[in-house]
């Protein structure tokens, strides 16, 4: 009886460890940078700064208990992947282009400094709750030459995102970005065959032999879409059913698929250079 009980306890402990391992894999804790590692240093004043948009959540999606990322804790979905995604991608821009890149920053749409920056990034944009004043400010920003990248929303969330874009530009369609689009070739040539999905770490699992298994959820075919101004310049780049921010955040992790990180950097750098040259 005692032996059976000890076996039962051992099996239960093994099962708990397995669940813990799966949970850690699902939430991306693959041992990339150290939690207490200092953030990289950047120039304070440069021609380009990664700007992350702060916003309030829709009430039904608000995480009142806060959100924890690898080295940050805060309220709201806007903070997902911060600061590592912003830091890593900013370092990539400075290494892979001649764009003078400064420290990443974050601000709300009503901040008067918004117009100082040509490029802004917003994540989880199906769940943002923009006021009428914020919609008006974002519209002004884009029509004055700004560029918005939206990222990391999935499946049925499309309708929520579309509704916010309808408020922003009632008469502007959202279109798929063709392979021939200038934005797909301004620095890196991104072909149709290259457009694989870019997973969040919740889609990565550690297999029995330690290998990484990528599991794409059903019904999540990636799409690269855009909105244009009257001169057919892209003003909103839309990453749907894909998670570019996670690929930036975990660029230092040996477990995140290298090919998908590379594609995420290609997209991001094309967006930046396009926004600063068009």
Residue 102 and residue 46 in contact, taking contact as beta carbons nearer than 8 Å: yes
Looking at residue 141, what is its pLDDT?
A: 98
Averaged pLDDT for residues 92-100? 96
Looking at residue 195, what is its pLDDT?
A: 86
What's the pLDDT band for 39 if we cut at 50, 70, 90? confident
Alpha helix positions (H), 216-257: 244-249
What's the pLDDT band for 63 if we cut at 50, 70, 90? low
Q: Which residues contact 268 (CB under 8 A, 6 or more apart)?
A: 89, 92, 93, 149, 244, 248
pTM of the entire structure? Answer: 0.84
Looking at residue 254, what is its pLDDT?
A: 85
Residue 54 and residue 82 in contact, taking contact as beta carbons nearer than 8 Å: no
- 266-278 per-position pLDDT tens digit: 999 999 999 999 8
Task: Say how far apart CA 155 and CA 51 lie, in whole Å.
Answer: 26
Looking at residue 61, what is its pLDDT?
A: 73
- 148-183 per-position pLDDT tens digit: 999 999 999 999 999 999 999 998 999 999 999 999
Task: Say how many CA atoms lie within 13 Å of 229 toward its Cβ.
Answer: 16
Round the average pLDDT of the chain to a whole number and report it: 85
Q: Does the bond joining 83 to the residue before it have cis omega, within 30 degrees of 0?
A: yes
- Selected from 3.30.70.1530, 3.30.1490.100, 3.40.50.300, 3.40.50.12140, the CATH number assigned to the domain covering 44-277 reads 3.40.50.12140
Q: Which residues contact 274 (CB under 8 A, 6 or more apart)?
A: 147, 182, 183, 186, 234
Is the pLDDT reported for residue 64 higher than 70?
Answer: no
What's the pLDDT band for 62 if we cut at 50, 70, 90? low
Is the pLDDT reported for residue 96 higher than 90?
Answer: yes
- 41-55 per-position pLDDT tens digit: 888 889 999 999 999
Averaged pLDDT for residues 246-267? 93
Comparing 236 with 73, which gets the higher pLDDT?
236
Looking at residue 24, what is its pLDDT?
A: 37
What's the pLDDT band for 36 if we cut at 50, 70, 90? low
Looking at residue 74, what is its pLDDT?
A: 53
Q: Which residues contact 277 (CB under 8 A, 6 or more apart)?
A: 186
> How many Å is the maximal CA-CA distance in the chain?
79
Looking at residue 111, what is its pLDDT?
A: 97
User: Which of 108, 111, 155 minimizes the C-alpha distance to 128?
Assistant: 108
Alpha helix positions (H), the chain: 2-26, 84-96, 132-143, 157-168, 244-249, 258-277
Task: Say how far apart CA 117 and CA 119 lie, in whole Å.
Answer: 6
Residue 262 and residue 85 in contact, taking contact as beta carbons nearer than 8 Å: no
Averaged pLDDT for residues 106-120? 97
Residue 130 and residue 85 in contact, taking contact as beta carbons nearer than 8 Å: no
Is the pLDDT reported for residue 93 higher than 90?
Answer: yes
Task: Say how far apart CA 45 and CA 201 lie, in whole Å.
Answer: 33
Is the pLDDT reported for residue 31 higher than 80?
Answer: no
- 204-230 per-position pLDDT tens digit: 988 888 888 889 888 889 999 999 999
Looking at residue 210, what is its pLDDT?
A: 81
* Sequence spans of domains, the chain: 44-277
Looking at residue 212, what is its pLDDT?
A: 86
Looking at residue 207, what is its pLDDT?
A: 85
């Amino acid at each position: 009886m005692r032996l059976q009980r000890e076996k039962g306890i051992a099996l239960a402990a093994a099962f708990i460890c397995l669940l813990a391992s799966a949970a850690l894999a699902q939430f991306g804790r693959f041992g990339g940078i150290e939690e207490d590692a200092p953030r990289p240093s950047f120039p304070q004043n440069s021609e380009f700064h990664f700007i992350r948009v702060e916003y309030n959540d829709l009430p039904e999606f608000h995480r009142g208990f806060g959100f924890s990322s690898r080295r940050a804790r805060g309220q709201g979905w806007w903070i997902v992947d911060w600061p590592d995604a912003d830091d890593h991608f900013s370092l990539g821009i400075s290494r892979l282009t001649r764009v003078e890149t400064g420290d990443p920053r974050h601000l709300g749409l009503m901040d008067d400094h918004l117009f100082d920056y040509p490029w802004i990034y917003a994540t989880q944009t199906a769940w943002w709750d923009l006021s009428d004043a914020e919609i008006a400010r974002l519209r002004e920003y884009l029509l004055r030459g700004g560029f918005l990248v939206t990222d990391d929303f999935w499946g049925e969330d499309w309708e929520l995102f579309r509704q916010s874009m309808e408020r922003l530009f009632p008469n502007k369609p959202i279109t798929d970005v063709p392979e021939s689009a200038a934005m797909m070739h301004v620095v890196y040539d991104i072909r149709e065959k290259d457009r694989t999905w870019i997973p969040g770490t919740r889609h990565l699992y550690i297999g029995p032999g330690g290998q990484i298994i990528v599991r794409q959820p059903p019904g999540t075919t990636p799409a690269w879409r855009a909105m244009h101004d009257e001169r057919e310049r892209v003003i909103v780049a839309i990453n749907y059913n894909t998670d570019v921010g996670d690929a930036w955040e975990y660029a230092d992790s040996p477990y995140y698929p290298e090919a998908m990180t590379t594609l995420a950097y290609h997209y991001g750098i094309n967006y930046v250079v396009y926004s600063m040259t068009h």
